[in-house]
C-alpha cells in the first residue's frame, strides 16, 4: 500500500434543489479550480427557510486533494 498526503480543503455549496446538488456543486467548484479531489466528507448541513418553506440547502464539504 502506497503512502498518500492530501491537502484538506473546506468549501460550502448551496442549492435550491437539494442536499446532493449542493454537494455536487461544492465538489465541482474544486475540480473546476484544478484541484485533484480524491475524497470528501459532508461536515455540516443547513437549510434556510423563507416564507415558511425551505428556500435552499447549504452544505460544508471537506475534501482531500492530491497533487497530479
CA-CA distance, 68 to 62, in Å (whole number)? Answer: 19
φ, ψ of residue 6 in degrees (nearest 5): -120, 145
Q: Let me know if residue 62 belongs to a domain.
A: yes
pTM: 0.88
Q: Let me know if residue 1 belongs to a domain.
A: no
In the DSSP assignment, the letter for residue 33 is T
- 49 lies in which domain range? 7-66
Number of domains in the chain: 1
CA-CA distance, 10 to 40, in Å (whole number)? Answer: 9
Q: Let me know if residue 2 belongs to a domain.
A: no
Q: Let me know if residue 23 belongs to a domain.
A: yes
| CB within 8 Å of 16: residues ≥ 6 apart | 55, 56, 57
Would you say residue 6 has pLDDT above 70? Answer: yes
Q: Let me know if residue 25 belongs to a domain.
A: yes
- pLDDT tens by residue, 23-68: 999 999 999 999 999 999 999 999 999 999 999 999 999 999 998 6
**Domain harbouring 16, CATH code:** 3.30.1660.10
Amino acid at each position: 500500500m502506497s503512502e498518500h498526503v492530501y491537502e484538506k480543503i473546506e468549501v460550502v455549496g448551496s442549492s435550491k434543489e437539494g442536499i446532493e446538488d449542493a454537494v455536487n456543486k461544492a465538489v465541482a467548484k474544486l475540480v473546476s479550480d484544478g484541484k485533484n479531489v480524491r475524497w470528501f466528507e459532508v461536515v455540516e448541513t443547513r437549510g434556510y427557510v423563507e416564507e415558511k418553506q425551505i428556500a435552499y440547502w447549504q452544505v460544508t464539504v471537506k475534501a482531500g486533494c492530491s497533487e497530479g
